[in-house]
């Protein structure tokens, strides 16, 4: 049985306090079990001592970069279909 590496690669240590306030932060060690049924999860754990899981998404109390450094843009392009008036 091959267990996929689902870990998120990190750029470095998270040392900056999040600017978000008044919300519940997700602990760094929080994971979500990869979608399987309970028998597969138990079998995987008994054979390997591990369970495939993803890092839980959501806001963290400490972040890697200062948001003030960030500049981003989103560009969408496409052809617009015009309705014929004839």
pLDDT tens for each residue of 24-80: 999 988 999 877 788 988 988 898 888 888 889 999 999 988 888 888 888 888 776
Give every CB contact of residue 84 below 8 A, 6+ residues apart in sequence. Answer: none
In order of 33, 38, 57, the CA distances from 25 in angstroms are 19, 28, 10
pLDDT at 81 over 90: no
Number of domains in the chain: 1
Residue 20 belongs to a domain: yes
Would residue 25 count as lying in a domain? yes
Q: Which domain holds residue 34?
A: 16-67
């Amino acid at each position: 049985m091959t267990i996929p590496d689902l870990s998120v690669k990190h750029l470095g240590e998270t040392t900056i306090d999040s600017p978000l306030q008044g919300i519940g932060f997700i602990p760094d060690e929080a994971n979500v079990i990869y979608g399987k049924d309970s028998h597969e999860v138990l079998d995987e754990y008994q054979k390997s001592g591990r369970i495939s899981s993803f890092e839980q998404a959501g806001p963290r109390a400490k972040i890697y970069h200062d948001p003030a450094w960030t500049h981003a843009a989103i560009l969408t392009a496409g052809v617009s279909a015009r309705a014929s008036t004839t």
